[in-house]
Structure 1
């Protein structure tokens, strides 16, 4: 079965780009919606580590940092061995709209999965994951000061 190479989500948020940027690019922000805690070295070539209590952690290899407009990283593809070098690329783009922010999230790289992999599980898992995580981002933004 052929799967799409791209997942894209667009959210219109009732928060200024600076607040959304902080939620995406600080340890407090990432640990508040994307995991249970996080640390981040916010620079191209830096890493972020997001931890989920009782589940594990993910490493984000930071590629793009353009405050307060664009943030991108690569991360491991779920279901592949830990030492597999293939990754997907995730990019957040923030555009001001009125008093809020249009947030576009794009993840690409699923096409590199082959017949020996489980591309359907990797892709559908991330589709569902972004649905859940972005809902948590909205809740985090709405409840944080």
Structure 2
């Protein structure tokens, strides 16, 4: 069972995940890292973190991944972001795929940020999922922490075949004070 809360009124996650950890990098940037033990094989997890049919439920932008190093990425706002944050409906940020090792590593730039996803077999048929989001400043890390936490809860639910009947955006709002307190 998870060491952190669960979506209100919903089944607790099976896999333990600590809160995201924020650290300074060697070049003065800030990294936000999550690690989640998942009782599913890396190939199954890979689908949930790269394929559109799963991404739409949890990823904080509308994106189609071209899993080719050097490929351009377009991150479009979702209708939820337009409504919640007042972003223009045509707002787009760009990125580039840096590295792809199927079922193991996906790394890409999203604007000036770097997102590194890593899957490591755990020896029991499951794997460890690690997300490291590197950005310019600590305030940005705290701003992103609750959102990634909520998104990873959806990833775990999708993998377990559980219905996701909560909003990751609402869940991020619930989690945000927890991350702000740890600042």
- Same fold per TM (> 0.5)? yes
> Could you state the TM-score of these two structures normalised by the residue count of structure 1?
0.73
Q: Distance in 1 between matches of 2:62 and 2:134?
A: 25
Instruction: Name the Cα RMSD after superposition.
Output: 2.4
From the superposition, tell whether residues 139 and 36 of structure 1 become closer, same or farther in structure 2 (CA, over 3 Å).
farther
* Structure 2 match to 1:102: 128
Higher strand share: 1
Q: Which runs of 5+ in 2 are unaligned?
A: 1-22, 25-29, 83-91, 163-183
* Structure 1 match to 2:100: 65
- CA shift at 1:35, angstroms? 4.7
From the superposition, tell whether residues 67 and 142 of structure 1 become closer, same or farther in structure 2 (CA, over 3 Å).
same
Q: Distance in 2 between matches of 1:39 and 1:50?
A: 10
- Structure with the larger RCO, 1 or 2 (CA within 8 Å, 6+ apart): 1
Q: Distance in 2 between matches of 1:54 and 1:36?
A: 10
From the superposition, tell whether residues 135 and 60 of structure 1 become closer, same or farther in structure 2 (CA, over 3 Å).
farther
Q: Distance in 2 between matches of 1:25 and 1:7?
A: 20
From the superposition, tell whether residues 142 and 37 of structure 1 become closer, same or farther in structure 2 (CA, over 3 Å).
farther
Over residues 78-109 of structure 1, what are the superposed CA-to-partner deviations in whole Å (9 max), with x where a residue is unaligned? xxxxxxxxx11110110111121111111123
- CA shift at 1:59, angstroms? 4.4
* Structure 1 match to 2:54: 29
Does structure 1 conserve the Cα–Cα contact (< 8 Å) formed by 2:135 and 2:141? no
> Could you state the TM-score of these two structures normalised by the residue count of structure 2?
0.59
Q: Are 2:74 and 1:20 equivalent residues in the alignment?
A: no
* Structure 1 match to 2:78: 52
Tell which deviates more after alignment, 51-60 or 21-30: 51-60
Q: Distance in 2 between matches of 1:48 and 1:94?
A: 24
